[in-house]
Amino acid sequence: MTTEKLAELLAVNLWVVLFVITLGMLLGAWLLWAGLQRHGNRIVALLQKLLDRLRPHAERLPMPRAVHGAWQIARQLGVQVLLSMAIAVAACVGFVEIADEIGIDEDLGQFDVALSAALSQHASDEQLRIFAAITDLGDKKFLIPLTAVIAVLMLFRRRWTLAATWIVATAGGALLNVGLKTIFERSRPERLHDFAVADGWSFPSGHSSGSFIVYGLLAYLIVINSRPRWHLPVAALAMTLIVCVGFSRVILQVHYFSDVLGGYAFGAAWVAAWIAGLEAFRRRRQGADLAGTNIS
């Protein structure tokens, strides 16, 4: 199947594609969450057993103390922190790979152009109107007041550290996105409608990264302050919002597909890094006896 035919197939079956993508991401997040909750302690125990077997060999290395010290630090950080750090690194690598493929001569860049052209032909006015409303949930005119309200609520409850982290993480992510746009200077796709207005550079998508940062961090804050039965619904709602806002930018033809992927990768790296820091801080305050697989 050629790039043009694949793009046309996706454009024609717009709702089905969006549903499959959303469901797939929700399922992946649930499997990761359930696996961590159920097998996190077992993974730590297996790693400890492996280290014990390797320790005699490690003593022959030039810096055995450094190896042992690194393991002790890893054990103190816990599964959540290590997993968040791994996700942050993986997302950064993903962002670099995506950025390397957005050129017009690259396969991803050609798919971007083909998908945007197919959507301009097949997306109906009704679909564009619906996604124009959805995309507002990732606009700065909505996210900034939402961020301010959440910050005020945390300050009112005297959660000074969380409030400061929330403000710095959301504002810093927005500023960094602007900086990345300036570095790449990618032009936006052409569109033939007035359902959405967008200016400035295109890569990475600010709506995608902004929604990932705000809704992702907000979901994390709700999870660590709520009962376990609310964890999955909160994560599912945040994931749905992130997916819908991001792909609304593609459907409205104000961003290329890779712009959204880049925004997701940047947002995931940023959120994971901040969650790692918050989890490390929480473990330090709550003591070394806190179970590394329970963030509630």
Q: What is the DSSP letter of 203?
A: S
Give yes or no: 207 in active site. Answer: yes
Q: How far apart are CA 136 and CA 145, in angstroms?
A: 13
Residue 25 phi/psi, 5-degree rounding, is -70, -40
Q: What is the DSSP letter of 138?
A: G
Tell me the three state secondary structure of residue 137.
helix
Report the Cα 36 to chain-centroid distance in Å: 18
Side-chain-side CA neighbours of residue 94 (13 Å): 20
Q: How far apart are CA 249 and CA 244, in angstroms?
A: 9
Q: Are 230 and 222 in contact (CB under 8 A)?
A: yes
DSSP secondary structure letters along 149-184:
HHHHHHHHTT-HHHHHHHHHHHHHHHHHHHHHHHHH
Q: How far apart are CA 132 and CA 197, in angstroms?
A: 10
Task: Considering the candidates 57, 68, 193, 255, report the single residue annotated as catalytic.
Answer: 255
251: nearest Cα among 166, 138, 88, 154:
138
Residue bearing tokens 């024609």: 12
Q: How far apart are CA 30 and CA 148, in angstroms?
A: 29
Across the chain, how many H-helices and E-strands are there? 11, 0
Give yes or no: 193 in active site. Answer: no
Residue 273 phi/psi, 5-degree rounding, is -65, -40
Q: How far apart are CA 55 and CA 45, in angstroms?
A: 15
Task: Considering the candidates 39, 68, 193, 207, report the single residue annotated as catalytic.
Answer: 207
Cite the active site residues. 207, 255
